[in-house]
Amino acid sequence: MSMSNTPENPPAFPRNRGVEMKTCYFSFGQTHFHSVNGKTFDKDCIVEITSADPRATMFEIFGRQWAMQYDEVPEMQYYPRGIIVL
């Protein structure tokens, strides 16, 4: 018996299959400050981005005003405001 795809019965595979999503973490320099949609991003927080190209997403949102990219969560003792997920 075949069932159609509905919100109650989603397709067996995601529509964007073949696109590998990756999670990366980014920090800001001492003088970098951004306000995006009412959220403040600065040296005291880490940004988590999950996308096909997290680095490109970071450039789209923050331009060149950020410091480091990490493949794993960095030592959080240096980032008292924690992780902000985008």
**35 part of a folded domain:** yes
* Domain residue limits at 28: 22-85
- Residue 2 inside a domain? The answer is no
> Considering the domain boundaries, does residue 63 fall inside one?
yes
CA 82 to chain centre: 14
From first to last of its 86 residues, what are the pLDDT tens digits of the chain?
A: 444 544 555 545 455 567 799 999 999 999 888 988 889 999 999 999 999 999 999 999 999 999 999 999 999 999 999 999 98
Asked whether residue 14 is domain-assigned, the answer is no
Q: What is the per-residue pLDDT for 36?
A: 87
- Domain annotation covers residue 7: no
Beta bridge partners of residue 63, listed in sequence order: none
pLDDT at 16: 55
Q: How many structural domains comprise the chain? A: 1
| Alpha-helical segments (H) within 1-86 | 54-62
Token digits of residue 36: 């995006």
Tokens at 48, concatenated = 């988590």
Q: Report the predicted TM-score, pTM, of the whole model to 2 decimal places.
A: 0.76
Q: Does 62 fall in a domain?
A: yes
**Residue 8, in any domain of the structure:** no
* List of residues 6+ apart from 31 with CB closer than 8 A: none
